[in-house]
Amino acid sequence: MNITTENILLIGSLLLFISILAGKSSYKFGVPTLILFLGIGMLAGTDGIGGIHFDNPKAAQFIGIVSLNFILFSGGLDTSFKSVKPILKEGIVLSTLGVLLTALSLGTFVYYVTDFTFYESMLLGSIVSSTDAAAVFSILRSKSLALKKNIRPTLELESGSNDPMAYVLTIAFLSLVVNQDQDIISVIPVFFQQMILGAVAGFGFGRLSKLIINKIKLGIEGLYPVLVIALMFITFSATDFIGGNGFLAIYICAVFLGNQDLIHKKTILKMFDGLAWLMQIVLFLTLGLLVFPSEIIPYMGIGLMISLFLIFVARPVAVFISTVFFKMKLRRRLYISWVGLRGAVPIVFATYPLLAGVDKAPMIFNIVFFISVTSVLIQGTSLTVVAKWLRVGIPEDQKRITEVDRILLDFPKSLLKEFDILPGASVINKQIVDLNFPSTAFIVMIQRNGKYIRPGGSTKLEQDDTLMILADTEKDFEEVGKSLYS
């Protein structure tokens, strides 16, 4: 069956519906959703029972880039700077030096066990050098297992910020494969250009996006997530246009926005959480359709060998060397090493050699696909067992609630208190979103001129207003007082 404009909505919606039902079942049986989504795509493809013919790497790459924008941006919005601040250096080193060491060590191994050239080997190592935590935490949640101390923030920060490094390495070694006369030294300036411009642009667009979101008055709550989507794509494309790394830019932009007071922030977070899930399903289904299982079989032997080396040698070596200067217990290092899950990102990156016309591109794509699947099957299904074995897991009821959790879950408050806006107060004519209000309290009503109004983030405070505020503790009210009267 060929995909046409007439049947694409029917086929797409059916596959999406089946994937959602399969994803629900995966929580019960502990099977990573990634495998289920890929499996559904493969079953629906040319070699499967669906017989849908899809052989368009360019379309798959476009879908992959758009999906990664949403997935990375949503992950950035959910990243609490307060939780990652203690492990910021560790996370950055793992997402840069760790990725580089993984690519180099695996590339060297591939060079000696295959007939690949040195640059082709390094290209393969670069493609699979980044981790994917999406399936990891879905399994941890399904098993009611949280992680001790700073393990989870470390994994979140690494998985959210290491894709840009892998992308730069992939593009660099792909350039060396295509241009045989090019020297490896020539890609070093490009690397620094991509990373520096990406970081600067991400922070700059983050500040600009906050200003636009809070100052523009759309009047309709549902338009604010749409506005953020537009700002996300502007950040990615503009950064890419000036030669920076767009993936790094949107992640930094999202982390910045996620830790700021925004108008209708709860609506924005909920919308992106749903869109991230949608994009994961669409991405995995597309990659499942793109692959031909019959073409993977000849590479299963070498693929398994490379995958096992990545899991048991390359990833642990990279983690231990990257964290050698940090105070960290051995069991924490071992668990971070084990959570080196390869997901959809390497498969998306593997489409770049296909489109560049590299001779061994089909072989690289099939090996990368096999590595991703085996990594999820071996590591993804054993995360909870290894966590208990290393004694790094804690019961779910002891899990610490993050600021993002508070926003999304909308915890009920137990105390109510009134605050008056006195003449001459510095907050007069200020929007509520600009007050630096504590996240543990919120304004439920404002009494103004004998009437009660329901406030929003864009509501401006006026003299003689009486704010009715709900909070959990008296300490929360002290923070409210500081934001209103300091």
User: From first to last of its 486 residues, what are the pLDDT tens digits of the chain?
Assistant: 666 666 777 877 888 888 777 766 655 555 567 777 888 888 888 777 777 878 889 999 999 999 999 988 988 898 888 888 888 999 999 999 999 999 999 999 999 999 999 999 999 999 999 987 665 555 555 555 567 778 888 888 888 788 889 999 999 999 999 988 888 888 889 889 999 999 999 999 999 999 999 988 887 888 999 999 999 999 999 999 999 999 999 999 999 999 888 888 888 998 998 898 888 888 888 888 888 888 888 999 999 999 999 999 999 999 999 999 888 889 999 999 998 888 788 989 999 999 998 999 999 999 999 998 898 888 877 887 888 898 887 755 555 555 555 555 455 556 788 888 888 888 888 888 788 777 778 788 888 888 888 887 778 888 888 888 888 778 888 888 888 887
Which residues lie across from 2 on neighbouring strands? 53
The pLDDT value recorded for residue 133 is 62
Q: What is the pLDDT of residue 178?
A: 92
The residue extents of the domains of the chain are 8-398, 412-485
What pLDDT score was predicted for residue 364?
Answer: 95
Q: How many CB atoms lie within 10 A of CB 185?
A: 7
Instruction: Report the candidate in 240, 134, 120, 103 with the shortest Cα–Cα distance to residue 176.
Output: 120
Picking from 283, 30, 22, the residue whose alpha carbon sits closest to that of residue 137 is: 30
Q: Comparing 8-398 with 412-485, is the CATH topology the same? A: no
Phi-psi region of 445 (alpha: psi -120 to 50; beta: other; left: phi over 0): beta
CATH class as words, domain 8-398? mainly alpha
DSSP β-ladder status, 415-420 and 466-471: antiparallel
Alpha-carbon span 243 to 237, nearest angstrom: 10
Helix 99-113 and helix 163-178, axial crossing angle in degrees, nearest 10: 40
The token duo for 354 is: 């296909």
Q: Which CATH class is domain 412-485?
A: alpha beta
pLDDT of residue 176: 92
What is the spatial distance between Cα 403 and Cα 400, in angstroms, rounded to a whole number?
10
What integer pLDDT is reported at residue 4 of this predicted model? 64
At 273, list the tokens.
Answer: 């959480």
Sheet arrangement for strand 466-471: 415-420, 466-471, 441-448, 451-453
Specify the 3-state DSSP secondary structure of 221.
coil
Residue 367 CA: distances (Å) to CA of 78, 283, 347, 352: 32, 19, 10, 14
Alpha-carbon distance values, 68 to 21, 365, 390, 395 (Å): 23, 18, 32, 31
Terminal C-alpha separation, the chain: 67
